[in-house]
Amino acid sequence: MSTFTSSEFRQALGNYATGVAIISARVADGDPVGITANSFASVSLDPPLVLWSVDKSSSQCDVFVNCEYFAVHILQEDQQQLARTFSDDDADKFNGLIIERGVADLPLISECSVVLQCKVTNVYEEGDHFILVGKVVDMRAGSVEPLVFFSGTYTRLQS
């Protein structure tokens, strides 16, 4: 059996290209919260289910683990700065953004062409993350080139 460090494991996973999304929710007092994630995936088409995972060490972990709804904003190729902003715990993430309100007053970033509004169906604790599964209750979908994360950096698809 091979032995490897968590750093080596992370580097190996960096060879798998993923899309980039911002996950948003709101705290009990209504303030919006958001985080950049590349751990987003579809689970089922019928019913429409998706999942994503949040690191236990994230300052926003408790909010997401206890929320009733979350939104997934799939980023387009020109939204690298938005991804960086939502990766920064100290940033005023929603400053200057046009925010719409979704189901249960969910904060929706209007600049994103794909937005999925989800009701949490399950939360699983696994390793150093929580996995949130949500049923898509509403969506807006456009057709643009996605932002991609590969080998530790944001990039674009090339045809």
Any idea what the CATH number is for the domain that residue 139 is in?
2.30.110.10
Report yes or no on 156 lying in a domain: no
- Using pLDDT thresholds of 50, 70 and 90, give the confidence band for residue 159: low
Report yes or no on 159 lying in a domain: no
**Rounded Cα gap, residues 109 and 20, in angstroms:** 14
Report yes or no on 56 lying in a domain: yes
What's the pLDDT at 48?
Answer: 97
Say how many residues make up the chain. Answer: 159
- Using pLDDT thresholds of 50, 70 and 90, give the confidence band for residue 14: confident
The verdict on pTM exceeding 0.75 is yes
pLDDT in tens, 125-158: 999 999 999 999 999 998 888 888 877 888 877 7
Residue 14 tokens read as 């960096």
Report yes or no on 157 lying in a domain: no
Report yes or no on 18 lying in a domain: yes
Report yes or no on 1 lying in a domain: no
Report yes or no on 17 lying in a domain: yes
- Mean pLDDT, range 93-119, rounded to an integer: 93
pLDDT in tens, 19-57: 899 999 999 888 999 999 989 999 999 999 999 999 999
**Rounded Cα gap, residues 117 and 34, in angstroms:** 14
Report yes or no on 153 lying in a domain: no
Q: Which domain holds residue 133?
A: 6-148
The domain tally of the chain equals 1
